[in-house]
């Protein structure tokens, strides 16, 4: 899929402040620093569309980007950093939890997982919560450039094993590297596939 236009539109502090648009949305969530904002820049091939930082906790609001004037990418604040720690019942960030659970036009939530790490309790806890609310999601294993292909594959296999049995089928998953641009085409194709599907209400 070709990205002809990508524009930042608005930042909102909570679900109630988000405009009630009809266009399909794709949100990016995951631990702070996992690479959510970088992935949005990779997909759109815009260097500074979403704000990236070495310091975790950079993205603090719900940020909307209009793509090809037809659908949106949504950059969310991460979880797992200092005081915004994931607590019981996802009190970590009510705004994000409410958005993920209550946003009507959200077609898929991309849950980013650091491909270098063994399964982290906080990610598993978050995914359990997503399963609980029956939200549509796909995993994206990020930063694949930081280790060998073999090591990355082994880590992904361990993670998938940790979530096996939570549902009938394994979750969809993709990989990405904002450094080598690996995964860009596949993620855009995945989005295109969802956009092509009629919405079942
Ligand atoms: N090597 C490498 N570094 C990456 C990749 N993706 C992100 N980074 C780096 O990781 C750091 C965090 O990236 P961000 O995109 O800001 O992460 P985020 O998930 O949006 O973080 P918060 O907004 O704080 O939740 C930055 O220093 C990025 O340059 C990747 O695929 N490979
Ligand atoms: Mg960010």
The finding on whether 183 has its CB within 6 A of some atom of ligand 1 is no
State both tokens at 25.
Answer: 């949305």
With a pLDDT cut of 90, the percent of the chain lying above it is 82
Sorted by where each starts, the structural domains of the chain and their CATH numbers stand as 6-196 (3.40.50.300)
Residue 92: predicted pLDDT: 56
Give me Rg for the CA atoms of the chain: 16
pLDDT, one tens digit per residue, over 121-154 is: 999 999 999 999 999 999 999 999 999 999 999 9
- Band of residue 82 on the pLDDT scale cut at 50, 70, 90: low
Q: Which of 98, 100, 74 is nearest to 14 (CA)?
A: 98
> Is it the case that residue 200 has pLDDT exceeding 90?
no
* Tally of CB atoms within 10 A around 136: 11
Asked if residue 16 has pLDDT above 80, the reply is yes
Does ligand 1 lie within 6 Å of residue 58's CB atom?
A: yes
180 with 152: CB under 8 angstroms? no
What pLDDT is attached to residue 84?
46
Which segment of 6-10, 52-56, 105-109 scores lowest on mean pLDDT? 52-56
Which of 15-24, 78-87, 149-158, 189-198 is predicted with the least confidence, judged by mean pLDDT?
Answer: 78-87
Gap between the Cα atoms of 112 and 74, Å rounded: 13
Q: Strand 62-67 to strand 71-75: parallel, antiparallel, or no bridges (unpaired)?
A: antiparallel
Q: Is 192 in the pocket of ligand 1 (CB under 6 A)?
A: no
Is residue 177 lining ligand 1, measured as CB closer than 6 Å? yes
Write out pLDDT tens, residues 162-190.
999 888 889 999 999 999 999 999 999 99
Residues 85, 91, 95, 101: what is their CA dihedral angle, to the nearest 10 degrees?
A: 120
- DSSP secondary-structure letter at 201? -
Ligand 2 mean position, distance from CA 110 (Å): 13
The protein residues having their C-beta less than 5 angstroms from ligand 2 (an ion) are 36-37, 58-59
């Amino acid at each position: 899929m070709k990205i002809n236009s990508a524009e930042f539109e608005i930042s909102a502090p909570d679900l109630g402040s988000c405009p009630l648009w009809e266009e399909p949305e794709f949100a990016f969530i995951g631990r702070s620093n996992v690479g959510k904002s970088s992935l949005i820049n990779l997909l759109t091939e815009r260097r500074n569309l979403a704000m990236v930082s070495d310091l975790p906790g950079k993205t603090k609001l719900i940020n909307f980007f209009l793509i090809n004037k037809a659908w949106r990418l949504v950059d969310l604040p991460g979880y797992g950093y200092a005081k915004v720690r994931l607590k019981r019942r996802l009190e970590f960030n009510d705004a994000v939890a409410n958005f993920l659970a209550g946003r009507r036009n959200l077609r898929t939530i991309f849950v980013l997982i650091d491909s270098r790490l063994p399964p982290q309790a906080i990610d598993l806890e978050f995914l359990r919560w997503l399963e609980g609310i029956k939200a549509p999601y796909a995993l994206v294993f990020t930063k694949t450039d930081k280790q060998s292909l073999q090591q990355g594959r082994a880590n992904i296999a361990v993670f998938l094993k940790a979530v096996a049995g939570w549902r009938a089928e394994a979750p969809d998953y993709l990989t990405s590297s904002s450094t080598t641009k690996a995964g860009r085409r596949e993620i855009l194709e995945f989005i295109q596939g969802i956009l092509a599907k009629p919405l079942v209400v």
